Structure 1
């Protein structure tokens, strides 16, 4: 039975790439009966009917999967955040980072519209950039019509399956147009009253770029913590994970426990206060979550 990778899902069809050919497939009814659904990025077995149609018969085991965006087998995520119009929000960025860490997807932070910042605004942003770099995150600073962007992204994207994600209006389509001018994607217009962009991408699709695969995804504003348990949250903050090995109690939540290495690191400046505040907020969301049965 032939095998391939789902490169696009649209209107109930799955487009399976196999040896240079795209096969338009439907999913078998058995998937619906099991509550399963093929995802873009899946490696699948399929049967072919006619020249370019077929049915997906089997979904191979996934290394990971995201719900929003619905995609599987991702190596890394290029998180696109504007520094202005809309404004940069470290809380929202940390939500994205935490969920990606929980799925073992490597995050790469791409800050767009850097040219719109005044000198004073850039100086206010710089401590955040430095703190994320110190944690170990790779950061790309860019702007519209950045001629150097392609060369900077080539080694990052090569040989990887990457997802391009972020809020609407932050410049995802502009970034894609820079990478692949032939796409000529429509770019969203920022609403002056709402301060956010209109959604311009309607489906998930893997695109060949820089000798890798890149998924543009529908605009969305945040991730949920539905799959993260309270004991796991520490390990979604890399700097907490390293330091927490020194906590006295196993499973320390870094709140009121004695001899907590994370709180000691907070006091001596090894951990930034804003990251600890975000950890507390996310932990409370998880604690307040309704039980699942």
Structure 2
């Protein structure tokens, strides 16, 4: 039987839903793949062997092979992205520079282009949007300030996403699903308010799912309260902050951790205001988290 190539739209209850042309196949993984360690994520391109059609709209198949990826994002787990949309609210919950920098760092290491979206613009504290733009736009990260509820700024964001395979990532309750609904009303993702007790969304996305959108695909992903950096090394944390590279020539030591060394171009750039203090603080917080995780796991 001939093989077909398709795109994994989602993984749910042990089944993979694979888009082939206009048809979606409900697939399991072939036994030979199960005998070996394999990784299969939403966004993967796969080869499948179609099964017998069991109805007008019931197509089944067996996944035989995962094709090479152009990139892979470990948290949230996605593959082959053209763009990662780091999404936060201006308030309720409040914007977090540390969480934003963690998400941008993961995308940077995966070599996935990223943008920042600030939802709930109508609730923004005075000066917040300008402050965020001042930190991130000089680094090449576009910042879109929007209101999913009123539609402010949505058209510009929609145009930027056109034709791309995109994933929205961010904490619970920031309005990722609402933003996607505003971008394309045909999507109609379930949304919910933020719990006053826990400060995050009550009704949240449970799994990543790619949905057709304007010549491309768009995905909502599960939110989180915190984002741990399991498996990240100190050297990766350094590489994840793209602005450090141009100042590392001023470091006496190589490699330099940009923390305790007596002569450090990065620390000098922070003191001079050439690197945002919030970014450097996030870097230090990430290094400490990496150290504590290693200590907990008994790694050197």
The corresponding residue for 1:6 is 8
Once the two structures are TM-superposed, the CA of residue 53 in structure 1 deviates from its matched residue by: 0.8
Task: List alignment gaps of at least 5 residues for structure 2.
Answer: 54-58
Question: Does residue 57 in structure 1 map to residue 70 in structure 2?
Answer: no
Give the corresponding residue for 1:248. 252
How far the C-alpha of 1:230 sits from its partner, in A, is 1.1
Size of the alignment, in residue pairs? 290
- 1:129 and 1:184 mapped to 2: Cα distance? 30
1:157 deviation in Å?
1.5
Match of 1:175 in 2: 179
Is 2:36 the counterpart of 1:29?
Answer: no
Shift of 1:69: 2.3
Structure 1 residues 202 and 285 mapped into 2: Cα distance closer, same or farther (>3 Å)?
A: closer
Q: Does structure 1 residue 101 correspond to structure 2 residue 108?
A: yes
Alpha-carbon separation, structure 2, partners of 1:287 and 1:193: 31
Shift of 1:224: 2.9
Task: Provide the C-alpha distance between the structure 1 equivalents of 2:236 and 2:207, rounded to a whole number of angstroms.
Answer: 31
Work out the CA distance in 2 between the residues paired with 1:67 and 1:281.
20
Q: Alignment RMSD, CA only?
A: 2.0
Identify the residue that residue 158 of structure 2 maps to in structure 1: 154
Aligned to 1:122, the other structure's residue is in SS state coil
TM-score (norm 1): 0.91
Contact 1:27 1:38 in 2 (8 A): no
When residues 223 and 36 of structure 1 are mapped into structure 2, their CA distance, relative to the original with a 3 A threshold, is farther
Any residues of structure 2 matched to 1:1-293 within 5 Å, and which?
1-51=3-53, 52-117=59-124, 121-124=125-128, 126-147=130-151, 149-288=153-292, 289=294, 290=297
Q: CA–CA distance in 2 between the matches of 1:180 and 1:249?
A: 51
Contact 2:147/2:154, CA 8 A, preserved across alignment: no
- TM-score, normalised relative to structure 2: 0.89
Distance 1:62 1:189, change over 3 A: same
Q: Would the aligned equivalents of 1:31 and 1:37 in 2 still touch at CA under 8 Å?
A: no
Q: Distance in 1 between matches of 2:117 and 2:229?
A: 23
Offset, 1:12: 1.2
Distance 1:182 1:125 in 2: 29
Deviations 1:103-156 (A, max 9, x none): 112221000111013xxx222553233111122211000013343544312332
Unaligned runs of 5+ in 1: none
What is the alpha-carbon distance in structure 1 between the residues aligned to residue 132 and residue 284 of structure 2? 18
